[in-house]
Every structure is written in C-alpha cells, then in structure tokens.
C-alpha cells in the first residue's frame, strides 16, 4: 500500500504553519476543546492544514500508543468542537494514519471560503474570570512558531481578505460576468500548449519508468517496464474570459491548499497531485520549454526519488500558466487461470481518475479569480485488448478496445464545472466509456448515472470520494 502524505507528516516531524502537532489529550475537557477550536480556526484561515494527535509538540516525535479512548478523537468529537465554537461550521475530516503499529488521528482542516472562520463562543473561564483557549468574535490565524493567534497585523488582514474575495468573486462577480459574456473559444495556441504539456509530462513519465526498471529487482523489472506504456495522462487548462491561460502566482502554496481540500472529495489513501512532505519526494519548482516557450512548473512524485515499489506509479506537474497534468500507470492487470494476461480496466478506477482531475480543476479554479473555462485533455495509452470490468472476475462489456491509444479534448465552461458538476463529469467520461459500448451489454449514456458513480465510490472503504453537489 502506498505511503500517503498524511503518514509522511508524522515521519518528517516538521511542524510548519499548516501543521499543528498535539500530544495525546483528553478532548472532553472544556479547556482542551477551546484550544483545539482555536487551532482549527487558525488552520482554516491559513488556507487549510492538519492537526495531528499523539505527537509531542516540543520534540515533534510520535508518542506511541495511549490509554485514552479512540472516541475522544473521532469525527463526531472533533465536529462537535467545531459546531460549538466556530462559524462557518467547517466540514473537517478525521483520518487515522498507521505509524509503527499505532493509529494516529489526523484532523484534515479545509480552507475558509467566502468569509473567514470566526469564534462564536468564549472558552471556559478560570478562577479569576479569565477566558481560556478561544475568545468570541476573534479571528485566528497561523503565525511563526508555529502558533495560532488573533489576527492583528495589516499584512495578515490583507492576505486573508484577498483569499475571501477570491472565493466571493466566484460566487458573485463572475456569475454576472459569465452570464452576459459571449462564449470565447480558447486560442489554438493555448490548446496546443495544453496538448504539449500532457505529451511532455507523459513522455517524461515513460523515461522515468525506464530508468526505474533498471534499478529494481529482476522479478519486478517486467512489471515496472510495462508501466511506461500503459497509463492515463490527464490534464486541464484554466482560461479567462478572453480564452487566455490563467497565471498562478504561488504554485507551491496553491498546491498545498488544494491538496487539503482534495482530502474531502478525492482521497482514497492516495490522491492525484499529492504533495508529499519529506525532502526526497517533496514537490520541486522547475523550468521547462513548451512550444519554444519557457514555463515554470511544480512537479511531484518524480520516480528516481522513490525506493518504494507500488502497484501503480504516478507523476504530476502544475504549470505557472494554469495547466495541470497527472500521469498514472494502470493497476488492473492480472493473470488468468491459464496464465495469460487478462487485460482490463475497472469502472471504479476510471471514474476515480476522471473525478480526481475535475475535482482538482474545480478546487484550484475557485482559488483564482476570473476563471471562465476549463479545457480537459485525456490521453490513455496501452488500451489495446482491454475490456471494461467491475472487478477481476466480472466484465461490464465483452468489447475489447482495438486501438492502443485514446485521446480527447473537451472544453467546459467554469459555471458547468462549478454548478453542474456531475454533468461535467459525464461529458468527460462518456467518450472514453463509449470505447466499450455494446448493444445489449453496455449503453454508457444510460448506464453512467450519479447513483452508479456513488455506488462505485462506496466500494472504497474509508475513502473520501464525493461528487460535488449541483
């Protein structure tokens, strides 16, 4: 099983502005609740982050097991703290991450949205009447230390309000502008840049796989080498009302904030565009050339930096010009009873990949004021002879794909992705599922419903795979 970014937070032991370590504590105590509420509010107002229990906040070392009841750290316990002290009420997620045989609770705190998170109740008073932990009417932020403090400096207000206005512009100003604006087609040059980014990232992935195959044990070499020609390369470009690419000013910070939000919608023990935190695999800012144009980008999961062999390999880039690409090898191949390879793709894995790409586009797009269109590029390779299956034993359709590669470019309006998410997902997914269309077996247009997708996502126990509400 791949190591998630959450376990890497524990391994690295780095407490920065988006990570708060807490020793084991009795969360039923009033003062503890108030202090936790302050930290959760500050993390949300920082753009999202993580609160991790069972880590000594001085030494930053895991404390091992505890005699405290697990119920003190579950979803209900933490959500009750949020409900009592904070507004808006954040939808925090509690994950349990295994480390050295101990399950450590990790509270995933999303970013605030159109308005900051504010305290709506005082913490308990001591014998002298002093309020402890959190004070009603206060907005908390993260500060150097790190610590969670009341906002006071003009620069801090400016950063927070800019993020609020970014969200609000999506909900108000852009709705009006898009409703009266004439649909602008993306320029041919920008479409070519997206295609070049997808091709370049995919080709780099194949080169990395070939190099990795030479270093792995001989028994793994064939499997690893095959991954270099059997993968999905999925990308998107964010465009403004004039059809031009959107610039991203803070690639690393934006990536971190969106990664936190991805845990609410597209996390299954792993996620697309995952920014691991320990130095060997942390995202790196690089510069490359696309169509004779120098562009900066953030890359993650570069394969020569891994010593871990998993069932699938992935690699991603987010460009400063508003293009993002993720490449992931297939994990569905198996050996049949005869020893022959039974080549297939599962509906679940296809849906996870497409949903993860669109969720990332939506979450990143709402961080950038002025997004008007999202252009999606799909490049599936290594398809020849594959069937669509529910699992290793049951096929959805007996049709085997004839061609080895499938490519498709689809333009969505931002309002489609934001307001009618499932319809947008269908527009992207149906052309691919139509490869397996067969009368009497599979009619994708009738088959691909919201209920089916939610049913498939429900197969992933403990995952957070959720469609956005329309």
Asked whether the predicted pLDDT for residue 114 surpasses 80, the reply is no
Least confident of 239-243, 273-277, 288-292: 273-277
**Average per-residue pLDDT for the chain:** 87
Upstream peptide bond of 447 is cis (omega within 30 degrees of 0)? no
Terminal C-alpha separation, the chain = 33
Q: Are 273 and 326 in contact (CB under 8 A)?
A: yes
Produce one character per residue of 129-151: b if its CB has 16 or more CB atoms within 10 Å, e if not.
eeeebbeeebbbbbbeebebbbb
List pLDDT tens digits, range 73-98: 998 899 999 999 998 888 888 888 88
As given in the structure block, the two tokens for residue 223 are: 């499997």
Asked whether the predicted pLDDT for residue 170 surpasses 60, the reply is no
* 344-346: strand order across its sheet: 344-346, 387-389, 395-397
**Mean per-residue pLDDT for 167-175?**
54
Residue 283 phi/psi, 5-degree rounding, is -55, 145
* Domain boundary assignment for the chain: 5-171, 182-465
User: How far is it, in rounded angstroms, from Cα 38 to Cα 35?
Assistant: 5
Least confident of 127-131, 222-226, 234-238, 395-399: 127-131
Domain made up of 5-171: CATH architecture: 2-Layer Sandwich (3.30)
pLDDT band at 242 (very low <50, low <70, confident <90, very high): confident
Asked whether the predicted pLDDT for residue 425 surpasses 90, the reply is yes
As given in the structure block, the two tokens for residue 195 are: 């295609």
- Three-state SS for 68-114 is CCHHHHCHHHHHHHHHHHEECCCCCEEEEEEECCEEEEEEEECCCCC
List pLDDT tens digits, range 360-411: 999 999 989 889 999 999 999 999 999 999 988 899 999 999 999 999 999 9
């Amino acid at each position: 099983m791949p190591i998630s970014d959450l376990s890497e937070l524990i391994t690295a032991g780095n407490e920065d502005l988006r990570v708060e370590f807490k020793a084991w504590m009795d969360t039923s105590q009033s003062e503890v609740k108030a202090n936790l509420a302050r930290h959760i509010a500050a993390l949300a107002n920082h753009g999202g982050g993580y609160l991790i229990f069972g880590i000594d906040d001085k030494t930053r070392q895991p404390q091992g097991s505890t005699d405290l009841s697990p119920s003190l750290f579950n979803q209900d316990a933490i959500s009750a703290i949020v409900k009592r002290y904070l507004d808006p009420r954040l939808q925090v997620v509690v994950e349990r991450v295994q480390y050295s045989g101990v399950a450590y609770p990790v509270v995933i705190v999303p970013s605030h949205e159109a308005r900051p998170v504010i305290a709506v109740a005082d913490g308990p008073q001591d014998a002298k009447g002093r309020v402890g932990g959190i004070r009603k009417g206060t907005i908390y932020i993260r500060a150097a230390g790190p610590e969670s403090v009341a906002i006071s400096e003009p620069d801090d207000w400016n950063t927070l309000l800019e993020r609020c206005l970014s969200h609000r512009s999506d909900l108000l100003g852009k709705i009006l502008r898009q409703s009266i604006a004439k649909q602008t087609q993306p320029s041919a040059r920008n479409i070519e840049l997206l295609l070049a980014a997808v091709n370049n990232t995919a080709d780099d992935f194949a080169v990395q796989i070939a190099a990795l195959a030479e270093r792995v044990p001989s028994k793994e070499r064939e499997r690893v080498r095959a991954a270099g020609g059997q993968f999905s390369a999925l990308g998107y470009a964010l465009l403004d009302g004039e059809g031009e690419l959107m610039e991203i000013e803070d690639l690393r910070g934006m990536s971190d904030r969106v990664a936190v939000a991805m845990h609410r919608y597209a996390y299954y023990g792993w996620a697309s565009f995952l920014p691991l935190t320990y130095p060997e695999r942390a995202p790196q800012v690089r510069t490359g050339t696309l169509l004779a144009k120098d562009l900066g980008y953030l890359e993650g999961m570069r394969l020569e930096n891994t010593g871990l062999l998993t069932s699938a390999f992935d690699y991603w880039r987010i460009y400063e010009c508003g293009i993002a690409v993720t490449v992931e090898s297939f994990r569905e191949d198996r050996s049949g009873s005869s020893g022959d390879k039974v080549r297939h793709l599962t509906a679940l894995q296809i849906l996870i990949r497409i949903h993860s790409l669109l969720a990332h586009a939506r979450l990143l797009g709402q961080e950038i004021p002025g997004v008007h269109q999202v252009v999606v590029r799909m490049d599936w390779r290594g398809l020849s002879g594959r069937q669509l299956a529910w699992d290793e034993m049951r096929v959805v359709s007996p049709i085997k794909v004839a061609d080895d590669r499938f490519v498709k470019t689809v333009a969505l309006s931002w309002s489609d992705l934001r307001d009618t998410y499932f319809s947008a997902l269908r527009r992207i997914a149906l052309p691919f599922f139509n490869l397996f269309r067969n009368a009497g077996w599979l009619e994708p247009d009738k088959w691909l419903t919201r209920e089916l997708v939610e049913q498939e996502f429900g197969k992933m126990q403990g995952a957070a795979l959720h469609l956005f509400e329309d």
